[in-house]
Structure 1
């Protein structure tokens, strides 16, 4: 039970004798109350003001009370009040409850006072299913103000009440009052009638109204019964004002229905009507698309009509209309392309409008969140037969979508924020909890940036692992959500984790975090404790235990379709004789060419640690530049596929390396991962952006040789001739001695007038759709029509296995012209004659 207390919102202001009165009401059947239900006392007019009590239950099962004070809609006065309100509940057991508020009231107010939760109220105050409520009111000050009022009234007969389904709605015709279009919107909201006043100003006009006032909804019966409630209006632009639980549906049918219909009256008093010019900001974007649908009389149940695609703000949109269960269902399809490593979200208000050639229209509002080629659906827009009767002309109707985009969020999946995780439209598959721990050993010998790893443990089909690291003389603990390959990551995990540092001497330290995993990698505590404190207060026998107590809140599956421009590769090799590598300082390095770049993975012993690197090993032409943004993982894999994996992001702008010089201690690799003196190293690389700037005076040629299975020995196959810098070039492919040979031909003809030479640097490349490439670099001076051949030896059978697709192979030639010389032959002979020694005279 709530204690007695006072809440003073305004100081009491005395103005002459104070006016006092009391309102009482017996609330009944409280045990049957449902969320949104209301009970009303009779209205009393006291001191020229109508008063009423409203008892309701909110969605938190708390019973509340509203003291409503208003005025007749025909009354043009405006006033303000300073009042004090005391609420009292009485029970047969003489238990009491009291609550006091003092506040200012202007024209209209619902003073809401929270009472008790339903169970407490029933247990302590309800007698015979009712409770007696008394409200004592003191008017401390009352002032009358002068102002201009704008009053109008709308009526709408709701038809066919008996056939109404849940979420079915009806709307009155639009009527313009004071230059603003208005309509009444009603809907069956489960067991209640929802009643709203709708402001239908077009969204895409350059201005909108800011409207304030009061709307009173009335119902009347033939027996003289009436029911009303009023609501404040404060609309900044198109919107609605009203009540989702205006009256119980069964009470509506029993007390107010006449011939299966009831008339709703909306009496509106506008106290402020201002036109505000809306400036479109950097995010707010508005547009309208319209689609005419024909042949609607022949549309069958379940059939969907699809409109044409229209682009707005570089996003494709489509309107669809479907006949479903006798209703019109409208869809707005946002077709913006999504990518696995990105999440985009469009937040919008969508006003759907059914427009007839006879001038009638019907509008409904839907708030929408679009993600990943998403659809906004408006179910039960209107009955199909009503649309045919009231809106179809010559078997056509028009659907308009007035859309106001108020936010567009684009984020890399790796940077996913908690607010975005709730906006995703994937199914939550499971949630649970687990515990993981491992012992950090040899604490005293740790070097900065040294790491130790716990074992990988699968929980809920996800691999998890703990890592401890010495970072700037602090202990860093991370929990890894450790999918094996960054190219197959398709989960989004939200979790709570309590990290614990536990010592056998009884000391412990805890820290709780919320973690969001959008890709493989670790999250955790950067500075749990200083390393010196760890050694002094927690380490026993040079060891300490770290624990992770994990509660998985949500796991979502994300579809993973490769991007059209997405590039990735996997390098995997077995390193043998690792026992000798430590002594000889031998560096293992093996390379493969992918996407025209020579990539390598290297392993060596670096001061007692394993150094593992991804290397870019190309040589570049002069004036040639590349920018390659990568995301990659490096893995050391041992017995039974036991592995350590680390994740990196690096942008290469020149040949170089990226990785970890202290991947783990060499002796730990030998003891825990080596099998028969060998381990496997692996690099999984995703190329996010690749930008290549070719050197000046360069060109590329492409040739696809098909029908490979029928290519004969010694047979040449030529591409078409292309002219670059006024010089003709061709590519040819030959099968010779069961190998593939690639040629670049310079077909510049001989000339009687001049000699010429062309110095070129040539890359001859064999290309596969998988991303594998094989490149040979040749430098040559062409002084006659001829072809140059690459120097690689590639077996025809290996070519078919690694590069052939659909019985064809693709070849490229990338050429940089270094120098071109031309010398006229006549001039050349004169020069030669001048340089020749004079002939001896016969005399």
Structure 2
């Protein structure tokens, strides 16, 4: 999807207490500086499901033409979905009053008197709010585009520190530049932020020209080919240039200028049946997070497997990892191959992404050096709040397809 996409996930407890004619709305979640919420209702033997735009009307008229997938997810991975498109132009909710029969809801989707609802939304067009309009879809093959970004505060970079440009839409896909200081060298990556959570099989073959440009016109370059697909998101240069040479020849006013020229040679994109799930949590009271304390968020059963997100503040970094909480069993070996995207998302829409592809055991997968804590505070935290997300594609499971799991309680939560 192009445009501005976002994910909302909520676990609704005590669903049996919802009586005919009742409505329930979740707390507001801010995405791209717009408050949104999920709402459910029970009417005439059906579950209603709506996405609410909570932005207040003002003198300047605004509209958000939004396409969204509404999903009801069972712990065993079964899901029920509907796709809706609506132009929001006032505070209102829109969706389906008869999303699924209450009988089928209770039979297939209620676990421990709770349900999980998700909305994957995309603001495909808007007026009166965002400064930049997103372009219409464009042809994909044998086309090129240029990304430019000035990275600041180079002298303050510590080992393993990352920084990102804001994503830009080119040919209906979001792209960004990432740099990292690693082993006293500069690494440069091109990231395609196309969502792995979309239930499509896609790949993008590119020729990439990375350039570091000095104020006097001198440049250092490297060219390579890369294939972006559901299982990966980055084309990295490796050790692009030593940090000493970077500081000597390319730093001006504590900044560097990076350009990435991308030629798209081939794209494949087709629907497919995938086992995907998402975790999302808005973290509040961030000022209370303690150094070197591992915080575990709520555990959620997906495809009969318990998963959680962990965050850690350590050595000046924020760490974010996905953990599979399934325990090893002596009588039966198992493995899970996954592709995943971990995201730190600001309520104003800015995001940072870390991707991986692993065969999973009960261990953490992610990074303890996602971004620096200073970067988090300066660019992602709004009103002591930010959002963490995981979007996961289960590629292959062995030894566990027929098992059932019991949901566990999380060990540590931020209050």
Asked if 1 retains the 8 angstrom alpha-carbon contact of 2:150 and 2:256, the reply is yes
Q: Is 1:553 paired with 2:265? A: yes
Match of 2:234 in 1: 522
| Structure 2 match to 1:473 | 184
Report the Cα offset of residue 450 of structure 1. Answer: 1.9
Residue 652 of structure 1: how far off its partner (Å):
2.0
Q: CA deviation at 1:584?
A: 8.0
Whether 1:636 aligns to 2:344 is yes
Gaps of 5+ in 1: 1-427, 695-699, 701-762, 766-772, 778-843
Larger RCO (CA within 8 A; separation ≥ 6): 2
In structure 2, the partner of 1:606 is 314
Residue in structure 1 matched with residue 19 of structure 2 by the alignment: none
Q: Counterparts of 1:469 and 1:624 in 2: how far apart (Å)?
A: 41
Match of 1:451 among 162, 173, 190: 162
Higher Rg:
1
**Deviation (angstroms), 1:465:** 0.4
Once the two structures are TM-superposed, the CA of residue 607 in structure 1 deviates from its matched residue by 1.2
Any idea what SS the aligned residue of 1:534 has?
helix
Q: CA deviation at 1:571?
A: 0.9
Q: Which runs of structure 2 are paired with 1:74-153 in the superposition (5 Å)?
A: none
**CA drift at 1:504:** 2.2
Asked if 1:661 corresponds to 2:368, the answer is yes
- Looking at structure 1, the residues matched to 315 and 346 of structure 2 have their Cα atoms a distance apart, in angstroms, of 22
State the secondary structure of the residue aligned to 1:663: strand
Counterpart position of 1:572: 280
Match of 2:333 among 625, 637, 658: 625
Mapped to 1, the partners of 2:239 and 2:204 lie a distance apart of 23
SS in 1 for 2:245: helix
8 A contact 2:142–2:264 mirrored in 1: yes
Distance 1:645 1:549, change over 3 A: same
Supply the distance in 2 between the matched residues of 1:497 and 1:583 (Cα, whole angstroms).
39
Counterpart in the other structure of 1:182? none
**Preserved contact between residue 590 and residue 602 of structure 1 (Cα < 8 Å):** no
**What are the superposed Cα offsets for residues 594-618 of structure 1, whole Å, 9 maximum, x if unpaired?**
2232110111212111100001223
SS in 1 for 2:393: strand
- In structure 2, do the counterparts of structure 1 residues 492 and 625 end up closer, same or farther at CA, with 3 Å as the change threshold? closer
Equivalent residue in structure 2 for 1:496, among 195, 207, 221 = 207
Structure 1 residues 586 and 496: CA distance shift in structure 2, 3 A: closer
**1:483·1:489 contact (CA, 8 Å) conserved in 2?**
no
Q: Aligned match of 1:649 in 354, 357, 367?
A: 357
Say how many residue pairs are matched. 271
Q: Which residue of 2 aligns with 1:679?
A: 386
> TM-score w.r.t. structure 1 length?
0.30
Q: How does 1:619-768 map to 2 (within 5 A)?
A: 619-653=327-361, 655-692=362-399
Which of 413, 431, 437 is the matching residue for 2:148? 437
* CA deviation profile, 1:734-773 (whole Å, cap 9, x unmatched): xxxxxxxxxxxxxxxxxxxxxxxxxxxxx9x5xxxxxxx6
Other structure's SS at 2:238 match: strand
Q: 1:619 to 1:516 in 2, by over 3 A?
A: closer
CA separation of 1:581 and 1:689: change in aligned 2, threshold 3 A: same
Q: What RMSD, in angstroms, separates the aligned Cα atoms of the two structures?
A: 2.8
CA–CA separation in structure 2 for the residues paired with 1:512 and 1:674: 36
| Structure 1 segment 333-352 matched on structure 2, within 5 A | none
- Which residue does the alignment assign to 2:101? none
Query: How far apart, in 2, do the equivalents of 1:676 and 1:473 lie?
Result: 35
Per the alignment, residue 596 of structure 1 pairs with 304
Residues 498, 589 of structure 1: alpha-carbon distance in 2 compared, 3 angstrom cutoff: same
Distance change >3 Å, CA 557–CA 466, structure 1 → 2 = same
Task: Report the Cα offset of residue 588 of structure 1.
Answer: 4.4
Cα separation, partners in 2 of 1:444 and 1:517, compared to 1, 3 Å = same
- Change in Cα spacing, 1:553 to 1:626, as seen in structure 2 (3 Å) is closer
For the 8 Å contact 2:196–2:393, the answer to whether it is kept is: no
TM-score by length of 2: 0.59
SS state at 2:370 partner? coil
Distance verdict in 2 for CA 1:497–1:633, change over 3 Å: same
Could you tell me how far 1:439 is from its partner in structure 2? Answer: 2.0
Q: C-alpha distance in 2, partners of 1:481/1:776? A: 35
2:200–2:270 Cα contact (<8 Å) kept: no
Q: CA deviation at 1:549?
A: 2.0
Distance 1:596 1:481 in 2: 30
Pick the aligned partner of 1:533 from 234, 237, 245: 245
For 2:318 and 2:344, the matched residues in 1 are separated by: 10
Q: Which runs of 5+ in 2 are unaligned?
A: 1-138, 410-415
Structure-2 change in CA distance of 1:474 and 1:486 (3 Å): farther
Q: Secondary structure at the match of 1:668?
A: helix
Indicate the SS of the match to 1:467. Answer: strand
Q: How has the CA–CA distance of structure 1 residues 586 and 522 changed in structure 2, closer, same or farther, with 3 Å as cutoff?
A: closer
CA spacing shift, 1:635–1:496, aligned 2, 3 Å: same
**In the aligned structure 2, how far is the partner of 1:650 from the partner of 1:530?**
30
User: CA shift at 1:577, angstroms?
Assistant: 0.9
Counterpart CA distance in 1 for 2:156 and 2:350 is 25
1:682 is paired with a residue whose SS is: strand
Measured in 2, the distance between the counterparts of 1:531 and 1:463 equals 29
| C-alpha contact (below 8 Å) 1:588/1:604 kept by paired residues | no
Deviation at 1:525, TM superposition (A): 1.4
1:211-610 superposed matches below 5 A: 429-519=140-230, 521-554=233-266, 556-562=267-273, 566-582=274-290, 585=293, 587-610=295-318
Answer whether contact 1:478 1:524 (CA < 8 A) is retained. yes
